[in-house]
Every structure is written in C-alpha cells, then in structure tokens.
Amino acid sequence: MDIIVNKSKGLNGSIEIPADKSITHRAFMFAALTKGKVKVSNFSKGADCMSTLKIIQDLGCSIEYLNEKELIINAKDAIKKPQIPLDCGNSGTTTRLMMGILAGQNFNCKLFGDQSLSKRPMKRVIAPLELMGAKFFHNDYKLPIEINGTKLNGIDYNSPLASAQVKSCLLLAGLNAEGKTSFTEPYKSRNHTELMFEYMGATIETSGNKVTVSKSQLKPVDINICGDISSAAFFIVAALITPNSDIIIRNVGINETRSGILDILKSMNANIEILDKRIISNEEIADIRVKYSELKGTTIQGAIIPRLIDEIPIIAVAATQAQGTTIIKDAQDLRNKEADRITAVKTELKKLGADIEETPDGLIINGKKELFGDCEIECYHDHRIAMSAYVAGLICKKPIKINEFQWVDISFPEFLNLMNGLIIY
Ligand code: S3P
C-alpha cells in the first residue's frame, strides 16, 4: 500500500495509544509458562505480537477472545512439542525470547522468519545460551535455527551489549535452569521482563545493571498492558514540529528504561507535560500533553541510548527542525534492526531536504531546515522508518509518497486512523 502525505496545519485533540509491543510479547510468552489461565487486557494487535500469539498456540496454549481488548490464555497443556516449525515473522523479540524458553525444554523444534528477520544476528543469544548447555543447529547464526531442547545450567554472563532481548532470553532460560542465572550489561536496557517476573512471582533480584533469576514457576495472574511509548513517540514529535499543535496522549507507559525520548526532547526545549502518573501491572503510566515547540539541537550518547533505541529514527526527524546540530553516537546496533536504520534514516531524510550525515555509530543532523518533499520514500520493510517518514511528511512543503506503508502493521496497525483523527489540513 503506497500512501501520499500532505502538509498539515497542526494536530489537535486527544488519543489513547494502543498497547506496548514489548510488554505484549512478554505477557503472551510468560502466560504460556504458567500452566494456568491468564487474562491479558489491552494487548498489541501488531503483526509481531500476533507471531508470538500464534507460536504459543503451536506450543499448546488455547486462546479465548473475550472481546476486542481482552483474551484469556489457557496454558494448562503448554509447553509441548510443536507439530510444525515456529514462524517468527518479522519479529526479533519473538525469536530471541522464544529461544530462551525453548532451549531448556525436553523436545526439539525449529524457528524461522521472514526475509528481513533471517538476516538478523542471533549469535548474541546463541553464544550465552550455549554456555548454559543449550544446543542449536544453524547456518552462520541466522534463522532458520533448530533447537535441541536440553537441561540448562545457570551462568553469570557479562554481556558486551546493552540489550533487553538478550537479557530477557537469558532470564527466561534461567527460569528453567539449575542454580542462578545472572546477566550484567554495560547500560541498563528496558526492564519489562524483570518487572513482569516480579509481578508473576519469580525469584529475581536487580542490582545496578545486574539481574539474577533462580529457577522459578511463574504464577497465572491477569495482566493489563499500558500504551506503547514507542508508538506515542510519532505523535509526540508530530505535535512538536507542526505549528499550532496541542495534543494529549493517554495511557502511555513511561517506565524509566523506555522514556529516554521524553528526557531528550525536554532537553531540546520541547513543551511536554506528564500528567496523572499511575501504576498498572507493575508498570508506570501517564497521560502526555504536547504542544508545538521551537526545538534546539542536542547530543545523544552513552547510557541513554538503550532507553530510546527504537525512537532514534523519529528523534532524527525532530532534529531536522531543531536549531543547531544534533549528534547521535553509540547507536551502532541500529544497523541490526528491521533495517539498517542509520543508513535508512539518512537516505530518506536527505531526499526530503534535511542536512543529515551518517557516522559508523550514529547520525549528525544540522537544523533547522525546511523540508521540501515532492519525492518517493522507501520503508525498507521497517515499520519505524515508515512512520518516521509519515511524520516528516506532515511538515514538507510538497506532498510525499511513501511506498509499502503497510509495514506499519508490524507494530501499529491503528496508526493512520489515529493520525487522521488529530491532523488538521
Ligand atoms: C526489545 C528490545 C530492543 C528493541 C526492540 C524490542 C524488547 O532490542 O529495539 O524493538 O522487547 O526487548 P534490543 O534489546 O536488542 O536492543
């Protein structure tokens, strides 16, 4: 599906952001480990989370939909050997977290994915899982991967990478391993797994950037999922850069390990108010009010990178409208996401008229530049590139065409409807 984006006169109104993708993956997978029934409320309907939901069904869970927003996962007969290879679709989180669950089972199985996922590196989880005793067959650490389930032993792993996917993979393997499993990372990545393990009764301890889990049985407790700050990010930036905007985004997860974008945008002079903070299912949430702002450039590096890793493409769009230079460093892992997001962002924003260059580990953007548009944008099979381009299109002088915009469905099928409800032309 190709779409045209026209210049907007502002965004106005209030929306509720759909459920968090990272937390939905975890809710589905962890429910599958409870041997009981778990009600999940407000889950993400994105294709990635649907890949996880299908896999837990292949592993013996049955699903009952109560209504559009609630379902019950019955894991009484899970986890058992799947009759077919498990399809991870486009989802890195599904693949890496499931590998942690499946490595310690008493059966063999196979994981595969789409073209983009089959190019992504899996050594980051295979290497530490092998230290725990896991057995895999693969070609150059890429999907398809065969897993020979076996008994695992806990390890104390020092990760060179700050990665919630690697951390969660090892913690999931650790739930079913002898002894303790510890994971230490150079900077703290998102901690949804730790919070949900705690919520579901696992034995888990956190000290600085080190997390330790002991063999535990997760308990079946109902889970209510907050809105996705990574989805809200596109609306936040759209309102900040489009003159006359004033919007409220309700029910957004503001977990500190995810909310780096709010800190960075505030340091860029953004008018963002955090309202009515509260807790649901062990996660902090709030409503966010955003008004058009005169932004200024900043430097983004080090410990904040994992706290905003998925938001860098949309932060780059904001930076094109910020006075001065924005430098993004220490983000080399962006090259291993659904696309090489460093090159993709540079190439597509340059087409629109931005002054942007890439470095091995980031981007340098000089603003404020008027974006001209009048061109065709590619998505690189990457939902976040698609949505970032859309937001940039709202301030381009001339319309832009975005090719294959359907990639948005990976995380945010409701995106266009919600945007259309706020945009004034
Ligand atoms: C995710 C972790 C991040 C993020 C991805 C989702 C998760 O990846 O980019 O979209 O749900 O754990 P890394 O942990 O590999 O950086």
The encoded tokens of residue 241 equal 């850069």
Domain range annotation of the chain: 3-19+226-424, 21-224
Alpha-carbon gap, residue 240 to 269, rounded angstroms: 10
User: Can you give the pLDDT at residue 59?
Assistant: 98
Domain 21-224 belongs to what topology? UDP-n-acetylglucosamine1-carboxyvinyl-transferase; Chain (3.65.10)
Catalytic residue among 20, 48, 310, 333: 310
Closest ligand 1 atom to the C-alpha of 25?
Answer: 11
Do 3-19+226-424 and 21-224 have matching folds?
Answer: yes
Question: Which residue of 189, 338, 384 sits with most ligand 1 atoms within 8 Å of its CB, as the best mutation to test the pocket?
Answer: 189
pLDDT averages per 10-residue partition of the chain, 425 residues: 98 98 98 98 98 98 97 98 98 98 98 96 98 98 98 98 98 98 98 98 98 98 98 98 98 98 98 98 98 98 98 98 98 97 98 98 98 98 97 98 98 98 96
| Site to substitute for ligand 1 among 95, 97, 165, 335, most atoms within 8 A of C-beta | 165
> What's the gap in Å between 164 CA and the centre of ligand 1?
5
144: preceding bond cis by omega (within 30 degrees): yes
- Is 43 in contact with 52 (CB distance < 8 Å)? no
User: Which pLDDT value is given to residue 412?
Assistant: 98
Is 310 tagged catalytic? Answer: yes
Eight-state DSSP code of residue 258: T
Look at residue 133 in the predicted model and tell me its pLDDT: 98
For residue 251, what pLDDT is reported? 97
Q: Of 49, 101, 163, 185, which is best to mutate to test ligand 1, by the most ligand atoms within 8 angstroms of its C-beta? A: 163
Atom of ligand 1 nearest to the CA of 230: 10
Our separate counts of H helices and E strands in the chain read 12, 27
- Which residue has a Cα nearest atom 13 of ligand 1? 163
Mention every residue, 6+ apart, whose C-beta is less than 8 A from residue 343: 335, 358
Q: How far apart are CA 253 and CA 264, in angstroms?
A: 17
The tokens describing 126, both together, are 């295979």
Cβ atoms within 10 A of the Cβ of 336, count? 16
Q: Is the pTM of this model over 0.95?
A: yes
**Pairwise CA distance, residues 150 & 332, whole Å:** 34
CA of 163 to the centre of ligand 1 (A): 6
The DSSP H or E segment spanning 98 is helix 92-102
According to the model, what pLDDT value does residue 379 have? 97
Sort 68 into a burial class: Cβ within 10 Å, 0-12 / 13-18 / 19+: exposed
Domain spanning 3-19+226-424: which CATH class is it, in words?
A: alpha beta
Rounded CA separation 20/2 (Å): 26
- Please give the pLDDT value at position 328: 98
